[in-house]
Amino acid sequence: MVFRPELSWEFLPAEEIEAKTMRAMRNHVRHIKDDSPYYQDALKDIHPDDITDRSALERLPFTDKNTLSTQTERFIGVTQQKLVETVVTSGSTGKPITYCLTASDLDRLAYNEALCFYSAGVTEKDRAQIFVSLDRLFIAGIAYYRGLTTLGANTSRIGVLPLEMQKHYLQLLQPTVIVGVPSFLKKLAIELNKCGFDTRNSTITRLFCIGESIRDEKMELNATGRILEEMYRAQVFSTYGATELAVAYCECTAQCGGHAHPELIYTEVVDEAGKPVPDGTPGELVATPLGVEGMPLLRYKTGDITFKISDQCACGRNAARIGPILARKSQMIKIRGTTIYPLTITNILDEFDEINDYLVEIESQAPTSDNVTVHAAVSPDVVTAITQKLHAGTRVHIPVLVSNETTVQSLRGAGRKKLRVLDRRAGTAANPTGPSTTQV
């Protein structure tokens, strides 16, 4: 596949992107109405040619995760023979979804990731190492691999290896770009420095962070992001993707929001009633992947809370961007009328080096109010400072209980080392039957 970034619409004037988007959405609706049994029914009263502006788009039906997971086969838009790859979502917020791609969908994935790395300054001169799994039914690893190789970067599929081997391959292959999960990259840097590999003076210039947030709601680096930047003396880039969207949003060199590539995805952010919210206002990310053959979707409700930015980026691109993922929709916390995002709490807790481990526990207190408790493995003399900072950041009182690492781990449950938020509320959309253990 030849990578031609000049084909992307993102540098076009906003009005031109808008016109192309309307045309693409009409074609998309026509295609899914013809080819996907689910949409043949769901769109029987919709005429694609009527989609001439945003208000017409906003009348199209949403697709939710539950419908996709229970009627998966009905979404497939091609014959079985055309499907070449199957992945399965982790199911961290509900039933796992089996997602199938055609050869063209894999190329589309590669093009999107190549655009992401390209906009963050990666070139064919770079040497990249991927520190995430390329197997186990994940889409992310293969997407990064295809994207980097399409761009022409010399790419090594490292995966997750014992420390000595990680160190060996870093020394042997001298990568300039690394892709990984922030908490893993942080732990890796600490261990590498202990065994004589100086991460501050290595060849690494860019870290691409997946799966966990490295920015706060003001889009500034959070504690983890700052530590990574300092420990690797490298630029850190945030990227967000969902299997069902078959694209990722990634920061460019200006680092002020994750770029959508408009020829590949139409992005909306909506309120509880499904109405678009103004730029900068948090709401649910709703996305329509364009150009997908295998399992095309329309106005897919991701369940992730973020905000949209429509003005021109400092890099010159005019397509929409999104802010950091503030929470899963099911994890939004309501305390006496105030909405709080778990990310706000975990970002504040991460600021305290004195906290060795913690768990944020959310319970239902009343139908309209939740109860939040922080269990922190910390010395009692730091508790007042933590409580004050939590109050300043959330405008509500959140009790901090002094605990120890063993107790925090037992509260978290076996095998869930990275879990920082334990949501015990029942009956949420993503958690219809019991406690959720979604990672933030």
User: Binding residues for Zn ion, per CB under 5 A?
Assistant: 252, 254, 313, 315, 317
Handedness of CA 359, 418, 210, 136 (dihedral sign): negative
Q: What is the DSSP string of 311-376?
A: SPPTTS--S-EE----EEGGG-EEETTEEE-HHHHHHHHHT-TT--EEEEEEEEEETTEEEEEEEE
* Contact present, 322 and 277 (Cβ < 8 Å): no
CA distance 192 to 198: 7
Minimum distance from CB of 255 to Zn ion (Å)? Answer: 8
Within the chain, what is the greatest distance between any pair of CA atoms? Answer: 66
In the complex with Zn ion, which residue's Cβ is closer, 29 or 309?
309
Minimum distance from CB of 319 to Zn ion (Å)? Answer: 9
**What radius of gyration, in Å, describes the C-alpha atoms of the chain?**
22
Q: Which helix (H) or strand (E) holds 38?
A: helix 37-42
Minimum distance from CB of 170 to Zn ion (Å)? Answer: 29
CA dihedral 350, 351, 355, 360 (to 10 degrees): -40
C-alpha distances (whole Å) from 293 to each of 107, 144, 395 are 11, 20, 47
In the complex with Zn ion, which residue's Cβ is closer, 28 or 317?
317
Minimum distance from CB of 212 to Zn ion (Å)? Answer: 22
CA distance 432 to 436: 9
In the complex with Zn ion, which residue's Cβ is closer, 146 or 317?
317
Say how far residue 15 (Cα) sits from the centre of its chain: 28
Minimum distance from CB of 316 to Zn ion (Å)? Answer: 7
In the complex with Zn ion, which residue's Cβ is closer, 265 or 408?
265
Minimum distance from CB of 315 to Zn ion (Å)? Answer: 3
CA distance 180 to 260: 21
In the complex with Zn ion, which residue's Cβ is closer, 209 or 376?
209
In the complex with Zn ion, which residue's Cβ is closer, 118 or 358?
118
In the complex with Zn ion, which residue's Cβ is closer, 7 or 426?
7
In the complex with Zn ion, which residue's Cβ is closer, 61 or 121?
121
Minimum distance from CB of 10 to Zn ion (Å)? Answer: 8
Minimum distance from CB of 320 to Zn ion (Å)? Answer: 11
Give residue for tokens 């939004």: 332
| Tokens at 235, concatenated | 């630029």
| End-to-end alpha carbon distance in the chain | 35
Per-position b or e across 184-200, b if 16+ CB within 10 A of its CB: bbbebbeebeeeebebe
In the complex with Zn ion, which residue's Cβ is closer, 258 or 291?
258
Minimum distance from CB of 415 to Zn ion (Å)? Answer: 39
CA distance 321 to 308: 6
Minimum distance from CB of 310 to Zn ion (Å)? Answer: 13
In the complex with Zn ion, which residue's Cβ is closer, 315 or 401?
315
